[in-house]
Chains A and B, each alone.
Chain A
Amino acid sequence: MGVVKVKDKEIVIPGQLLAEGMDFVPTGDAYREDDKVYSKRLGLVEINKRVIKVIPLSGSYVPREGDTVVGVVSDILVSGWRVDLGGAYSAVLPIKDAVNEFIKRGEDLTKYFDIGDVLFAKISRVTSQMLIDLTLRDKGLTKLVGGRIIKFPPVKVPRIIGKNASMITMLKKATQCKIYVGKNGYIWIDGKPNQELLLTKVIKKIDEEAHTSGLTDRVKEFLEKETGQKLG
């Protein structure tokens, strides 16, 4: 039987020894070397029987097929558009996955999307070389007009969405803002200035407290105080 060296939900640093023993299973950002399990990032350790998981608390976005992202068109290509997702890797939206109409060869693509346009898209493919393909052909995917983009740590995006979308639903209700959350850490918001200011304040709070529990309740309390609304 092995020995666990840390407590559940403890903050751990790269190289920190988490457990000793061959029967532990490292996942997330935990790794094994010989009979020891270590962390490879600054994060939160979760211990579930023999499974030792490290959830990172910072780090860049790792693109995955199926992720919905918010991106900015950065270039017009022959066969589509290059879209900036904010990380090390840019993505391409091919013509065939962008529009329903037939586009003639050599047509001016800026008619559809121009440099600076904001898109809420889905990653359809990620190659082993980290080349990313996007698509707009799915429910809810669209060009986003107006609004502004806020940068948020990609690893904490699940906290903005919340279990069963509980957090984001609450944010929308309390601030009456349109909110599109990209898994790449780009959050597009659009609302009245005062509402947006409240929203950015709450987003900052979620960022700072993402590693704690009871966050949804505290955010609810905070929003109810600020807006005077009751948020079921």
Chain B
Amino acid sequence: MSFDKRVDGRGLLDLRPMEAKVGVIEKADGSAYFRMGDTVAYAAVYGPRELVPRFKQNPKKGVLRCNYNMLPFSGVGERIRPGGNRRSKEISMVTEKALLPVVLLDHFPNSVVDVFIELPQTDAGSRCAGITAAALALADAGIPMKDLVSAVAVGKVDDKLLVDLRYEEEAFEGEVSDIPFAFIHNTGEVSLLQMDGIIDDENLIKLVDLARDAALKVYEVQKQALLEKFKKVGDSNERK
């Protein structure tokens, strides 16, 4: 069985349609909604706020705490029992590591910034959607950041290099690799890199560049979402 074309008719390097909005959860200090095809993520930021227990407080810098969770009705099959599992714990951790290089922790010593990511609907690329939404929520909250982080998954399905895999592509019954990436925008440095599947070194290196190009497109969507927040009033008014 060979992989010929993508189910939804996309080009090999095309991302699914994306949608992003910030300020969607009014009670949170910052929040965002991000959709990539059929994968949807909400992110909310609370903080900086008091970190308890107090012994965890660091007088030199703050703490970034991320929690990723899939909602019970978000899976492609049966209901997912709430409460998280080992997979979501690991994703929470790599999400934190993906965002850490850009968050200026020394600006909020002795306190914590909590980032909550919940997905009501998934179709692969969920941790990437979560990280992308989280970066937006952090910016919306006014947490000092050097830069934004943008995430996207790439992979090799059979002999084709693909960008932004869907569940059906990940489930292909041949050689598959699903490789989520996250990039810091200005420097192009990689802050998330994992893989499920099988890949050879040469193709992995090719995929880094493909992922970087794709992440730049994700960044544009993020940027628009942040600017959109101020558009409704701003434009009609004169700037001094």
Interface of A is mostly: loop
The answer to whether A214 touches B237, judged by C-beta atoms less than 8 angstroms apart, is yes
The answer to whether A88 touches B144, judged by C-beta atoms less than 8 angstroms apart, is no
Rank and list the top 6 A-B pairs by shortest CB-CB distance, nearest first.
A59-B142, A15-B147, A58-B142, A88-B111, A88-B48, A14-B145
Query: Size range of the interface on B?
Result: 35 or more
Q: Which of A36-44, A160-168, A192-200 contacts B (4 or more CB under 8 A)?
A: A36-44
* A29 contacts the other chain (CB 8 A): yes
Chain A residues lying within 8 Å of B110, measured Cβ to Cβ, are 88-89, 129-130
Annotate B142-156 by CB proximity to A: 1 below 8 A, 0 otherwise: 111111100000000
Q: Which of A65-73, A93-101, A205-213 contacts B (4 or more CB under 8 A)?
A: A205-213
* B104 contacts the other chain (CB 8 A): yes
Chain B residues lying within 8 Å of A38, measured Cβ to Cβ, are 146-147, 186
Q: How many residues of A are in contact with the other chain, CB < 8 A?
A: 33
B61 → chain A closest CB, angstroms = 12
* A6 contacts the other chain (CB 8 A): no
The answer to whether B148 touches A15, judged by C-beta atoms less than 8 angstroms apart, is yes
* A60 contacts the other chain (CB 8 A): yes
The answer to whether B148 touches A42, judged by C-beta atoms less than 8 angstroms apart, is no
A57-B145 contact given A15-B186, A129-B109, A214-B237, CB 8 Å threshold: no
The answer to whether A42 touches B144, judged by C-beta atoms less than 8 angstroms apart, is no
A-B contact pairs, 13 of them (CB 8 A): A13-B226, A15-B147, A41-B139, A57-B230, A59-B142, A59-B143, A88-B47, A88-B49, A88-B62, A88-B111, A209-B233, A209-B237, A212-B239
Chain A residues lying within 8 Å of B141, measured Cβ to Cβ, are 58-59
